[in-house]
Amino acid sequence: MKRVDDFRLNFGNKELVPIVIGGMGVDISTAELALEAARLGGIGHISDAMVQTVSDRRFDTNFVSQKLKTYKANVASSDKSEVHFNLGVLEEATRNHVGRTMDAKRGDGMIFINCMEKLTMNAPRETLRVRLSAALDAGIDGITLSAGLHLGSFALIEDHPRFRDARLGIIVSSPRALAMFLRKNARLQRLPDFVVVEGPLAGGHLGFGLDWAQYELATIVAEVQAYLQSEHLDIPVIAAGGIFTGSDAAAFLEQGAAAVQVATRFTVTRECGLPDKVKQEYFKASEEDIEVNTISPTGYPMRMLKGSPGIGAGIRPNCEAYGYLLDANGRCAYIDAYNRQVELQPDAKKISVMEKTCLCTHMRNFDIWTCGQTAYRLKDTTTRADDGSYRILSAEHVFNDYQFSVDDKVALPA
Ligand SMILES: Cc1cc2nc3c(=O)[nH]c(=O)nc-3n(C[C@H](O)[C@H](O)[C@H](O)COP(=O)(O)O)c2cc1C
């Protein structure tokens, strides 16, 4: 039986270990995690979700408080249409995050940035153009466009000097989405360098409805491969979602996938940005603790632990400080859900909003514990300390386990 190490991902003149650590916002896939993947010869992702907050936390900027100060008078208003991002600040924050990560890069692998297009930021085209251009300026090796794939994104950066040399890829969950993207971008004469096919067991937002369980990653990967073949297109396909062991990964590589993208197993590593006590919640989870719900204001179903403190928390919308999910008209589904509850309970001191969540605030505070469907198996990947807590792993250990293990085995830490 083959193992992952028997395969390589060929990207131009680069030969990589075919393991990609997927983007996990907000700063769950940290620079440290991405740097480890690159050092070990694979691909790591940072994420540009809420990049101004990430810059504040890591580089001592104060972009969030500046924005809040600018729009303070609007805090009690439910009309957020005037709350805009300063594009210069957005650019600076992106350059900080990407530039310093790339400066620290060692080894033969690559570092990409995951760019969630559902972060519409009350000016989708303008903010996305700045995010993409600034990441390219700061030397990112590649960009993975995800969640809410904007068919015109490539065109936003077609004049950038790195448009044809950086690796640009997209995440899809069906051949139909890929076909639409390719059709829309045909005039640019620039194909994606890779396509991540994300199945229904992935963490984060899903490209499926609540009927996600009826779909299977292997089937969708095969459909995408057949579609590409029928169009005579040679684009590497990367399989993602529910790939838990090295053997799972090797099976996809044998089926013709160019690489695998994995995330959940890295949520319990030291380099992952989740606080240690949240990592313990991931370890402890049983299958019944994991749900796919519709509380994300993006409109996409999202998988998370049922015990996430952000579920039902009825906080006042925080768009003056954050506002990443405001659409082109300055609206967010959480604001509407919150206002409905306030109307129903005008005298309540504290309300609960079950319908939607203030995703910016709760992802920023690590209070929405999104995970893949296999999270309940994480406890089997480590040992326990005397106090009963699970031992946090190193990213290198998990990466090596994917690369070298066989027979569905998972190596425990030494
Ligand atoms: C904690 C967590 C956060 C995630 N956040 C994002 C994200 O911000 N953008 C994105 O495109 N995918 C996100 N994902 C999906 C992963 O990048 C990846 O494709 C998927 O989870 C792989 O499946 P696995 O977790 O079963 O290995 C996230 C996954 C997890 C577990």
Q: How far is the CA of 368 from the centre of ligand 1 (A)?
A: 13
Specify the pLDDT at position 163.
97
pLDDT at 256 over 70: yes
Ligand 1: atom nearest CA of 23 is: 17
pLDDT at 85 over 90: yes
Q: How far is the CA of 377 from the centre of ligand 1 (A)?
A: 16
Nearest-angstrom CA–CA distance, 172 and 202? 12
Nearest-angstrom CA–CA distance, 57 and 383? 32
- Structure-block tokens of residue 198: 């994300």
Confirm if 200 and 174 have CB atoms less than 8 A apart: no
pLDDT at 147 over 90: no
Residue nearest to atom 26 of ligand 1 (CA): 242
Residue nearest to atom 17 of ligand 1 (CA): 22
Q: Give the CATH number of the domain where residue 60 resides.
A: 3.20.20.70
Nearest-angstrom CA–CA distance, 216 and 252? 13
Question: Residues 67-79: pLDDT tens digits?
Answer: 999 999 999 999 9
200 lines ligand 1 (CB under 6 A): no
Q: How far is the CA of 313 from the centre of ligand 1 (A)?
A: 23
Structural domain range at position 340 = 4-404
Nearest-angstrom CA–CA distance, 165 and 366? 35
Ligand 1: atom nearest CA of 373 is: 26
Q: How far is the CA of 302 from the centre of ligand 1 (A)?
A: 10
Domain assignment present for 271: yes
Specify the pLDDT at position 12.
81
370 lines ligand 1 (CB under 6 A): yes
Domain assignment present for 105: yes
285 lines ligand 1 (CB under 6 A): no
Q: How far is the CA of 198 from the centre of ligand 1 (A)?
A: 9
pLDDT at 148 over 80: no
Give the chain's domain count.
1
Residue range 53-66: mean pLDDT, rounded: 97
Strand partners, 370: 304
Residue nearest to atom 29 of ligand 1 (CA): 203
Output phi, psi for 44, to 5 deg: -115, 155
pLDDT at 95 over 80: yes
pLDDT at 284 over 70: yes
Ligand 1: atom nearest CA of 171 is: 11
Ligand 1: atom nearest CA of 146 is: 11
The mean of the pLDDT values for the chain is 96
Residue range 176-197: mean pLDDT, rounded: 94
Domain assignment present for 340: yes
Domain assignment present for 410: no
Domain assignment present for 412: no
Domain assignment present for 259: yes
Confirm if 306 and 73 have CB atoms less than 8 A apart: no
| Pocket probe mutation, ligand 1, options 4, 20, 21, 24, max atoms within 8 Å of Cβ | 24
Residue range 271-288: mean pLDDT, rounded: 98
Q: How far is the CA of 250 from the centre of ligand 1 (A)?
A: 20
pTM of the full structure: 0.98
Question: Residues 150-175: pLDDT tens digits?
Answer: 778 999 999 999 999 999 999 999 99
241 lines ligand 1 (CB under 6 A): yes
Domain assignment present for 411: no
Specify the pLDDT at position 149.
63
264 lines ligand 1 (CB under 6 A): yes
Domain assignment present for 409: no
Specify the pLDDT at position 151.
76
pLDDT at 142 over 90: yes
- Structure-block tokens of residue 251: 């099976």
Confirm if 181 and 199 have CB atoms less than 8 A apart: no
Share above pLDDT 70 across residues of the chain, in percent, rounded to a whole number: 99
Q: How far is the CA of 69 from the centre of ligand 1 (A)?
A: 33
